[in-house]
Structure 1
Amino acid sequence: MDDPSPSPAAIQAVVHQGVPLAAAWGIEVVSAADGAALCRLPWREELLRPGATVSGPALMGLADVAMWAALLGITGGKDESLTTSLTIHFLRRLAPGPVLAEARILKHGRIIVGEVLIRSEASEEVAAHVTPSWTAVSPARRPSR
């Protein structure tokens, strides 16, 4: 039986088209299936803040993209859900280098709740814990004549 889930490359193409900043940062979708996704943010000097630490806005953007990739993995690559909240707890600083975000959907319905763990590619230690929520958006209804 064929797996109806789109490939990580197909999901990455949707993400890059839908969020041009993700393309500019070079965010990669490593995997996305079964309500989970792994995304990679390559090393980019412009994403650092003073003190040679990966910036909070870069980590929040990566987490948001990873959550969307997880959703795209279960919706056949078509999803127009919108972020309604994103809470992030910075647990430790991330030194310069590639960053990974592991997202998983905890609840999928009209309200979607997830969890994203962010870490350095070189470490298993979680550097940030993110709890995003999204609102599912239904395709627009055509007016009746």
Structure 2
Amino acid sequence: MTILMDVEALNAFLIAEFPQVTGKFRVRSVTPLDVVVEMPMTYQHLRPGGTVSGPTMFALADVSIYLAILARVGPIELAVTTNASIDFMRKPAAGKTLIATARILKLGRILAVGDVLIQSEGLDAPVARASMTYSIPPKR
């Protein structure tokens, strides 16, 4: 697969188009196979009991697939989630960075399907797995 947006371009896109999430997500790497995104955990991401909240992990999965799609189709702001499923498999380490590896399984003209594996820094086994479908608006 051709890469149209690299690490620097994707991080710049996040800052320019989503200033409200500046500092929450950072693209680590972009390859023809996947995009790796990290999200440092802070107190605001924890739920009672000291584990990372489900919405936090879902946000990381959603942003990661979005960025993986943009890496391949370019900066299309209005690509949107049309379907999502997430499995929470184990408790992430509190205070540790979450790392998502997103890969596109199918990239069509109007739909993209991908999956995300989320790991917690310091743990070998994944903490969550998500499957996402995105709608890609037609080019004008």
Q: Same fold (TM over 0.5)?
A: yes
What is the TM-score normalised by the length of structure 2? Answer: 0.87
What does residue 143 of structure 1 align with? none
Instruction: Classify 1:39/1:63 alpha carbon distance in 2 versus 1 (closer, same or farther; 3 Å).
Output: same
Task: Verify: 1:135 aligned to 2:135, yes or no.
Answer: yes
Alpha-carbon offset, residue 46 of structure 1: 0.6
Does the 8 A contact of 2:69 with 2:112 survive in 1? no
What does residue 98 of structure 1 align with? 97
Letter in 1 for 2:10: I
Identity rate of aligned residues, in percent? 31
What does residue 44 of structure 2 align with? 46
> Who wins on radius of gyration, i.e. which is larger?
1
Alpha-carbon offset, residue 35 of structure 1: 4.9
* Structure 1 unaligned spans of 5+: 141-145
Q: Per-residue displacement from partner, 1:34-57 (whole Å, max 9, x unpaired)?
A: 252100001211111111101111
Residue 127 of structure 2: SS of its match in structure 1?
strand
Residue 126 of structure 1: SS of its match in structure 2?
coil
What does residue 15 of structure 1 align with? 14
Alpha-carbon offset, residue 19 of structure 1: 3.3
Alpha-carbon offset, residue 138 of structure 1: 1.4
Alpha-carbon offset, residue 95 of structure 1: 2.1
Alpha-carbon offset, residue 21 of structure 1: 4.2
Residue 84 of structure 1: SS of its match in structure 2?
strand
Does the 8 A contact of 1:35 with 1:73 survive in 2? no
Q: Distance in 1 between matches of 2:32 and 2:3?
A: 11
Q: Distance in 2 between matches of 1:117 and 1:7?
A: 20
Q: Distance in 2 between matches of 1:57 and 1:98?
A: 15
Letter in 2 for 1:108: L
Q: Per-residue displacement from partner, 1:84-124 (whole Å, max 9, x unpaired)?
A: 11110100111211100100000111221100000102122
* Structure 2 unaligned spans of 5+: none
Q: Distance in 1 between matches of 2:76 and 2:33?
A: 14
Does the 8 A contact of 2:3 with 2:32 survive in 1? no
Which among 63, 66, 69 is matched to residue 64 of structure 2? 66
Aligned residues: 137
Alpha-carbon offset, residue 82 of structure 1: 1.0
What is the TM-score normalised by the length of structure 1? Answer: 0.84
Does the 8 A contact of 1:67 with 1:104 survive in 2? yes
State the superposition RMSD in angstroms: 1.9
Does the 8 A contact of 2:93 with 2:123 survive in 1? no
Runs of 4+ in 1 over 4 A off after TM superposition: none
